């Protein structure tokens, strides 16, 4: 068996100001042909899972195309068209294939295609024809669409959030496509789409209500002898009609069963909709609580969630730490100009900096202080353990560690860097356990790394393009009615 591997991964925040360009993919992953296999062979990622799963099935993995960019704004038309052109060109050059394993994110939006994943999956289907198996994985933050379901034979969502099972799900997808090609099974999938948007604050798979729903879904999968079942939280920061929760079930040669079970699970999710509403802790309450707990306490800055496309410049919590005289605290802020000034001043120097923020309600006011420059670093580090996103290599760009008079430690980075690895601190000679408070610009993703050192986590309600309170966002294209925006809506599902 020769199985082609294709990935296009981007979580698109349509409320973010900056657009995602071709260069954004070049800075992360943009490879084709044999380079796909080289890049992912050792990765804690579904693409690595595809490769290893196919090896176990005595099938040949054929690298076709892979692109990934850090979550950010809508992809430009120019970049998306170029990505698809290159993907399809490489696919046509791949030679005879028996199947395709795909890794879309599921919440990708381009200027010219609001359901970008449905678009490129349909294009792949058009090229290979209706008979070839196309299977793969999706991020559970996907805004699943009917187009994605129609273009593929089977899609498996990661089951953990933080996402630490990507490799495992990739292996399972590879096993499923191998069994399909051998004629052992015939996967049929169906989805249900309740009119429900789930707060990002309630999306951790180890906490209620996701924990209980995932357990119920697995029990249902086993009792109904399904091949697989997936739960999608949805990605609330994409203003598209597909935005929202979904359930996808896969049965062996039994599409009606898959649909019936998907609808039943969608109805159960709807029945417990009140549990999906977020709870919100304000900045000063969070800082005051954190000072009284055994440290390190991780303050999760939800409004500046880099993993959902924010700018990494917010200063709301940093200002509160200064005002509350919270010593032994750490925060990272992306500010290339401040890095340059600190680097020019050199370690040991005192320098007046205006850090992060904007004079607006989104990111807060700049943090204007005299800082001591503690050290300067390359910003490159690696992560060996499975962490959120399966990412193993990080590049913050030139990075400076500066300290305010009250002891607040600020990491200034040139590039936005999601807090998915403690290497972000240890690379710079910082001991995470030495801080009373660590600010992580995320919601659930940082837990996979910071659980190792932080006994307490507090999710903090801050403004921004990733605000946890979806009702603050000005949607123009979402479905209506939809809970919680229209609280009196009845359950609506479509297939």
**CB neighbours (10 Å) of residue 4?**
26
pLDDT range class, residue 388, cuts 50, 70, 90 = confident
Using the 3D structure, point to which of 216, 247, 276 is the last residue of a domain. Answer: 276
β-pairing, 380-382 vs 393-395, is antiparallel
Residue 479 lies in a domain: no
Residues 294, 252, single domain; the answer is no
Query: Tens digit of pLDDT for each residue in 74-112?
Result: 999 999 999 999 999 999 999 999 999 999 999 999 999
Residues 166, 287, single domain; the answer is no
**CB neighbours (10 Å) of residue 25?**
23
Please check whether residue 203 is in contact with residue 158, taking contact to mean a CB–CB distance below 8 angstroms: no
Please check whether residue 151 is in contact with residue 116, taking contact to mean a CB–CB distance below 8 angstroms: no
Residue 478 lies in a domain: no
Residues 380, 400, single domain; the answer is yes
Query: Tens digit of pLDDT for each residue in 294-309?
Result: 999 999 999 999 999 9
Mean pLDDT of the chain: 96
**Residue span of the structural domain in which 186 resides:** 2-276
Give the C-alpha separation, 49 to 274, whole Å. Answer: 36
pLDDT tops 70 at residue 360 = no
Return the structure tokens found at 485: 């925006």
- In this prediction, residue 363 carries a pLDDT of 82
pLDDT range class, residue 361, cuts 50, 70, 90 = low
Residue 483 lies in a domain: no
Residue 475 lies in a domain: no
Residues 65, 213, single domain; the answer is yes
Please check whether residue 291 is in contact with residue 326, taking contact to mean a CB–CB distance below 8 angstroms: yes
Residues 47, 122, single domain; the answer is yes
- In this prediction, residue 359 carries a pLDDT of 56
Residues 297, 347, single domain; the answer is yes
Give the C-alpha separation, 162 to 164, whole Å. Answer: 6
Which of these, 39, 41, 83, 59, lies nearest to 173 by C-alpha position? 59
**CB neighbours (10 Å) of residue 97?**
17
Residue 487 lies in a domain: no
Query: Tens digit of pLDDT for each residue in 109-158?
Result: 999 999 999 999 999 999 999 999 999 999 999 999 999 999 999 999 99
Residue 114 burial by CB count (10 A; 0-12/13-18/19+): exposed, middle or buried?
buried
pLDDT range class, residue 358, cuts 50, 70, 90 = confident
pLDDT range class, residue 335, cuts 50, 70, 90 = very high
Share of the chain above pLDDT 90, in %: 93
Name the packing angle between helices 255-271 and 210-223 (round to 10°). Answer: 150
- In this prediction, residue 309 carries a pLDDT of 96
Q: For the chain, first and last CA: distance in Å? A: 32
Burial 281-299 (b: 16+ CB within 10 A, else e): bebeebbeebbeeebbbbb
Query: Tens digit of pLDDT for each residue in 281-290?
Result: 999 999 999 9
Give the C-alpha separation, 12 to 9, whole Å. Answer: 10
Domain count, the chain: 2
- In this prediction, residue 299 carries a pLDDT of 98
Residue 229 lies in a domain: yes
Residues 261, 302, single domain; the answer is no
This prediction has a pTM of 0.96
Which regions of 445-494 does DSSP assign to beta strands (E)?
A: 456-460
Residue 460 lies in a domain: yes
Residue 390 lies in a domain: yes
Using the 3D structure, point to which of 231, 256, 276 is the last residue of a domain. Answer: 276
Which of these, 363, 439, 353, 454, lies nearest to 404 by C-alpha position? 353
Residues 262, 386, single domain; the answer is no
- Can you give the length of the chain in residues? 495
Helix, strand, coil fractions of the chain, as percent rounded to 5: 35, 25, 45
Query: What's the per-residue H, E or C state across 28-59?
Result: CEEEECHHHHHHHCCCCCHHHHHHHHHHHCCC
DSSP letters along 121-167, please?
HHHHHHHH-SSS-EEEEE-TT----HHHHHH-SEEEE---SS---HH
Residues 174, 304, single domain; the answer is no
pLDDT tops 80 at residue 468 = yes
Q: What is the mean pLDDT of residues 252-275?
A: 96
Using the 3D structure, point to which of 276, 308, 337 is the last residue of a domain. Answer: 276
Going 372 to 378 to 384 to 389, the CA torsion angle's sign is: positive
Residues 347, 306, single domain; the answer is yes
Residues 272, 290, single domain; the answer is no
In Å, the largest CA–CA distance within the chain is 70
- In this prediction, residue 292 carries a pLDDT of 96
pLDDT range class, residue 439, cuts 50, 70, 90 = very high
pLDDT range class, residue 495, cuts 50, 70, 90 = low
- In this prediction, residue 489 carries a pLDDT of 81
Residues 211, 327, single domain; the answer is no
Cis peptide before 484 (omega within 30 of 0): yes
β-pairing, 297-301 vs 329-334, is unpaired
Q: What is the CA radius of gyration of the chain?
A: 22
- Assign 266 to helix, strand or coil: helix
Share of the chain above pLDDT 70, in %: 98
Q: What's the CA angle centered on 317, arms 313 and 319, to 5 degrees?
A: 90
């Amino acid at each position: 068996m020769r199985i082609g591997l294709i990935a296009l991964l981007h979580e698109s925040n349509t409320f973010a100001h900056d657009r995602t360009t071709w260069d954004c993919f070049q800075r992360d992953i943009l490879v084709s042909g044999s380079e796909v296999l080289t890049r992912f062979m050792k990765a804690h990622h579904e693409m690595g899972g595809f490769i290893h799963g196919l090896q176990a099935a005595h099938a040949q993995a054929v690298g076709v195309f892979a692109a990934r960019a850090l979550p950010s704004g809508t992809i430009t038309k120019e970049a998306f068209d170029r990505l698809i052109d290159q993907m399809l060109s490489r696919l046509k050059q791949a030679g005879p294939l028996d199947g395709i394993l795909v890794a879309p994110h599921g919440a990708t939006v381009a200027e010219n295609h609001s359901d970008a994943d449905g678009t490129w999956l349909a294009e792949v289907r058009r090229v290979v024809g209706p008979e070839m198996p196309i299977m793969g994985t999706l991020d559970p933050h996907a805004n699943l669409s009917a187009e994605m379901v129609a273009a593929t034979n089977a899609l498996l969502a990661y089951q953990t959030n933080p996402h630490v099972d990507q490799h495992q799900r990739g292996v399972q997808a590879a096993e499923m496509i191998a069994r399909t090609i051998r004629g052992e099974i015939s996967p049929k999938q169906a989805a249900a789409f309740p009119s429900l948007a789930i707060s990002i604050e309630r999306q951790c798979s180890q906490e209620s209500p996701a924990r209980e729903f995932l357990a119920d879904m697995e029990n249902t999968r086993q009792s109904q002898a399904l091949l697989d079942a997936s739960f999608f939280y949805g990605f609330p920061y994409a203003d598209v009609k597909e935005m929202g929760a979904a359930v996808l079930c896969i049965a062996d040669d039994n599409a009606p069963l898959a649909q019936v079970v998907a609808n039943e699970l969608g109805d159960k999710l709807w029945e417990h909709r009140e549990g999906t509403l977020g709870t919100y802790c304000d900045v000063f309450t969070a800082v005051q609580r954190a000072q009284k707990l055994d440290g390190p306490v991780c303050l999760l800055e939800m409004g500046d969630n880099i993993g959902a496309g924010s700018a990494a410049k917010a200063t709301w919590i940093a200002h509160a730490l200064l005002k509350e005289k919270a010593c032994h605290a750490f925060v990272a802020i992306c500010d290339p100009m401040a890095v340059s000034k600190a680097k020019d001043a050199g370690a040991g120097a005192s320098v007046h900096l205006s850090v992060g923020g904007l004079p607006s309600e989104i990111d807060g006011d700049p943090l204007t202080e005299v800082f001591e420059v503690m050290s300067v670093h390359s910003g490159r580090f690696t992560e060996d353990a499975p962490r959120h996103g399966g990412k193993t290599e990080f590049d913050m760009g030139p990075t400076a560690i500066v300290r305010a008079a009250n002891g607040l430690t600020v990491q200034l980075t040139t590039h936005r860097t999601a807090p998915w690895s403690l290497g972000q601190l240890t690379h710079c000679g910082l001991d995470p356990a030495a801080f009373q408070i660590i600010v992580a610009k995320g919601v659930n993703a940082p837990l996979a790394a910071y659980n190792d050192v932080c006994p307490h986590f507090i999710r903090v309600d801050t403004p921004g393009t990733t605000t946890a309170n979806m009702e603050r966002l000005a949607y123009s294209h979402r479905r209506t009615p939809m809970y919680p925006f229209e609280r009196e809506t009845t359950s609506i599902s479509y297939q």
